[in-house]
Each structure stands twice: as structure tokens, then as C-alpha cells.
A and B are shown apart, each in its own frame.
Chain A
Amino acid sequence: MFLQETTMRAYSLFKKDFHSELRTRYAINSLAMFIIVAISVILFSIGNETITESLTGGLYWVVIFFTAMSGLARAFVSEEERGTSLTLQLVASPTTVFSGKLIFNLILVFCMNLVIALLYSALFEKFVIQNFPLFLMTFILGNIGLAISSTIIAAIIAKAGAKGTLYPVLSFPILLPLILTCVQLTLFSFDGTSFEEAQFELAIVVGYDVIMLTASYMLFDFIWKD
């Protein structure tokens, strides 16, 4: 019953953020621009050369990381900048707030990374997936980890002064294990490596997601209230 109520309230908060985003277009525009600019720069710098599979996989996650850095902080930073954090504290419990923001970031990350994957498969010669289920699993688990970490880091930096600098600086060490493992799994999916052989890396990503989610819910109450 409690879980159902919290979920419904979190969904209402997500809907608020979604409608707010449709009206202000703050995150969507910055994410779209970053994706276009980053991929264009990579394509121009490569020119007619063919880059290796490992470089393609690495660049794919580099674009994902920096795109996430450019848009996902909005979840909490916009509330803090507009002064509406206090209002949210008055209408929702910390669990509801974190869940609502996490749903919003999850959907944003999935949409953003889907666009990046489609653009990569259309524009990069070596972005050929041999083991699609493994790539899909990496995509899903990686996105979940990215959304959870970005959301809790956004909550931490929202009250700080130099948010723009602090966000990528703080995110880098936290996201590094996830990004490195996801790069490896993406390369496995390019090679056609089987699920069994990729089990260890998959377990790392699942563990990362579970640890980040648990730690985030435990810490958020302290971060959210002054």
C-alpha cells in the first residue's frame, strides 16, 4: 500500500517535470544540441579514415557520458535555481522526490541514448553489433546506472555554488567503473562474444546499479534537507 502510494506520487512528480520540460525545453534542447555537436565533431575529425571497433565503442560511451553531464543535472538544479525546492519539500517526502526525479532521468537517458545509438549505427562503419541481446542488456543496465548516479549527483551539487564544474568532476570517479565496464560490454557485443563469457562484466554493472540505487535512497534524505 505504502509502495503503491509512493509510486503514484512519484509518477505525479514525474508528470510535473515532463510537462514543465515540454514548456521550457531546457534539458531536451541542451541534450539534442550536445549530441549533434559531439557526433559532428567526431565525424569531421575522422574524415575519410576508418576507426577501429574499440575506438568506436569508446567514443560511443564518451558521447553518452558528456551528454548526460550536459542535461541530467537539471532534475534538481532547476528546482534549486527557481527556488521551488522548498515547495517540493512541502508537498512530498524525500523518497517521492527522488523516485520522481529518477523516473524523469531514466526516461531522458533512455531516449537520449537511443538517439545516440541510432546515429552511431547510421554514421559509423564499425558500429556493427554481432550480439544484439548483449548490447541491449548493456544498454539497459548502463542507462539505469547512469540515470541513478546522475540523479543523486545532481541532488548533491544542486545546493553548491559552481554547479556546472562540480557536476562532471564529481560524476567522473563515480561513473568511471560503469562507463569502463559498459565500454567493454559494448566491444563484446561488437565481437559477438557470448553471454556466458560476458557474465563477469554484466555482474559488475548489475552490482553497480543495485549499490547506487540503495545508497541513493539511503543518502537522499540527508542531501535533500538542509
Chain B
Amino acid sequence: MSSYSIQSQNLSKLFGRRLIFKNINFNWSDKGIFGISGPNGSGKSTLVKIVAGLIAASSGKIIHKNSDGEIIPEKLHNHIGFVSPYLVLYEEFSAWENLKIFAKIRGVNFDDQKVIYYLTQFLLENRKNDLVKTYSSGMKQRLKFIFALMHSPDVLIFDEPTSNLDEEGKKVVYNIVHEEGRSRIVVIASNEERDLAMCQEKILLENFKTIERR
């Protein structure tokens, strides 16, 4: 069983003088599917970026802990799998090359069998040697899930996971989310009812703060 936890302590974010949200507190541990929702501009993407360590909070703190203690920001990237529509992979390389490059830069073993399994799951096996620039936006989105899953991270963060996906793609994603949520922390930031229906706990961001927790 995973002993990973993410704790948010009075998290606030300002862009210049514009307040995005303030005093966000939560504690996610072990496993499960956690949701973040809210209207456009409420700070969903900003919050997941802070959780993933991609941007800093204006005040407050995010603490990632595993069985060895608190994870330092320098090493956080190896514990996170991240998918979002604004994530861009290298278009001049094929899907296979992209995944191999990322494994090497991460310093993890490139497991051919595992990557082929995910490529098959996400219906990209036949196109694995094609350059990413020839992919449709839905195929790129599916490839991002393999990018997020291939190093077996402790936390999966999906920002608008089903954007650009067709029904078949959504079905694959929902299966993956259910499956992964049984063994690790999965965070979903979305406005889609179907995406949020999978979450055991939700944070609703509105009027600069959390107004509801279910």
C-alpha cells in the first residue's frame, strides 16, 4: 500500500495583484481519486501546477511525503505524473523516441514491455514510430497519459484529462483513473461532470477560495 501524502497548508496564489485563491487546505493520503472543480479562471490549473511543484505558491505550503519523509522540490518530478492540454511533447520525435528520451532524462529504466502495453491500451501501438507532429490532438493527449504513467509515479495529476478525446479515448482514461486510484493518489482538475463523478473528495474553487468540500 502506498504511504504517500500531499498536504496543503493555507495555500494562496496571486498573479501580480490579482488574487487567484487563498487559504486552500487539504490532506490527500495513500490512494484515491481527488477532484478540483470551479468556473473558468478560478485557479484549477494554477492549483494543480502548485501541487506538482511547477510553480510556487504566493503563500502557504505544499508538502509531499512518502515513507522516507518529506520530498525535496529537486526530486519531486520523479514522483509526479502530469497530464494537461497545455503540456507539449517534442513534435520532431516519434512517440517511441519521446518516451525513451523522457525515461533517460528521468534516469529510470525504459521498460519496452510496459510502454508497449500502454501504447496498446491507448490505441497508439500502430503509430508509435510516427512523428508526434503528425498526430491529431486526441492522439497527443493519449500519448501524454503514457508519458505520465511510464515511470510509475506516486501521484497522478490530470488537468482536464478528457479534453480533445473521443468517446473511445475517454473510456480508456476512465478505466486508467479507476485502476490507478486503487493504488495511488489521482488528482483530477476538471469541469466535466463525468470526470468529477469518479472523485471520492472534491474541492470547489470559487470566489478566490474553497467553498465546498464533499
User: In the complex, given contacts A86-B54, A92-B105, A225-B54, what are 19 additional A-B residue pairs having Cβ atoms less than 8 angstroms apart?
Assistant: A5-B107, A8-B107, A9-B105, A15-B101, A15-B104, A16-B101, A23-B92, A82-B88, A84-B88, A84-B89, A84-B90, A87-B147, A89-B54, A89-B77, A90-B87, A92-B77, A94-B74, A96-B105, A225-B56
> B198 to nearest A CB, angstroms?
23
Contact of A20 among B77, B82, B89, B92 (CB under 8 A): B92
Q: At the interface, yes or no: A171 with Cβ under 8 Å from chain B?
A: no
Q: At the interface, yes or no: B55 with Cβ under 8 Å from chain A?
A: yes
User: CB-CB < 8 A to B208: which residues of A?
Assistant: none
- Give residues 78-123 of A contacting B (CB, 8 Å): 82-84, 86-96, 100
Q: Give Cα A172 to B101, complex, Å.
A: 35
Nearest CB to that of A5 among chain B residues? B107
Q: Give Cα A87 to B105, complex, Å.
A: 11
- 20 sampled A-B residue pairs with Cβ under 8 A: A8-B107, A9-B104, A9-B105, A12-B104, A16-B101, A16-B105, A20-B90, A23-B92, A82-B91, A84-B88, A84-B89, A84-B90, A86-B86, A87-B88, A87-B147, A90-B82, A91-B105, A92-B106, A93-B77, A96-B105
Q: Chain A interface (Cβ within 8 Å of chain B)?
A: 5, 8-9, 12-13, 15-16, 19-20, 23-24, 82-84, 86-96, 100, 225-226
Q: Give Cα A95 to B72, complex, Å.
A: 14
Q: Give Cα A224 to B204, complex, Å.
A: 30
- Give residues 37-56 of B contacting A (CB, 8 Å): 52, 54-56
> A49 to nearest B CB, angstroms?
46
Is the pair A226, B93 in contact by a Cβ cutoff of 8 Å? no
- Give residues 57-106 of B contacting A (CB, 8 Å): 74-75, 77, 80, 82, 86-93, 101-102, 104-106
User: CB-CB < 8 A to A226: which residues of B?
Assistant: 54-56
User: CB-CB < 8 A to B89: which residues of A?
Assistant: 84, 87
Q: Give Cα A186 to B99, complex, Å.
A: 46
Contact of B54 among A84, A90, A95, A100 (CB under 8 A): A90
User: CB-CB < 8 A to B54: which residues of A?
Assistant: 86, 89-90, 225-226
Q: Give Cα A100 to B90, complex, Å.
A: 16
Q: Give Cα A89 to B88, complex, Å.
A: 12
Is the pair A95, B74 in contact by a Cβ cutoff of 8 Å? yes
Which size bracket describes the interface of B in this complex?
Answer: 20 to 34
User: CB-CB < 8 A to A89: which residues of B?
Assistant: 54, 77
Q: Say yes or no: A83-B104 contact (C-beta < 8 A), given A92-B77, A93-B75.
A: no
User: CB-CB < 8 A to A95: which residues of B?
Assistant: 74
User: CB-CB < 8 A to B93: which residues of A?
Assistant: 19-20, 23
User: CB-CB < 8 A to B74: which residues of A?
Assistant: 93-95
User: CB-CB < 8 A to B92: which residues of A?
Assistant: 20, 23-24
Q: Give Cα A100 to B104, complex, Å.
A: 12
> B132 to nearest A CB, angstroms?
11
Q: Say yes or no: A91-B86 contact (C-beta < 8 A), given A20-B92, A23-B92.
A: no
Q: Give Cα A20 to B133, complex, Å.
A: 13
Q: Give Cα A168 to B102, complex, Å.
A: 32
Nearest CB to that of B131 among chain A residues? A23
Q: Give Cα A95 to B107, complex, Å.
A: 14
Q: Give Cα A149 to B145, complex, Å.
A: 37
User: CB-CB < 8 A to B107: which residues of A?
Assistant: 5, 8-9, 12
Is the pair B77, A90 in contact by a Cβ cutoff of 8 Å? yes
The 5 nearest A-B residue pairs measured at CB:
A12-B104, A83-B88, A226-B55, A23-B92, A12-B105
Q: Say yes or no: A9-B106 contact (C-beta < 8 A), given A83-B88, A92-B77.
A: yes
Q: Give Cα A96 to B77, complex, Å.
A: 12
User: CB-CB < 8 A to A82: which residues of B?
Assistant: 88, 90-91
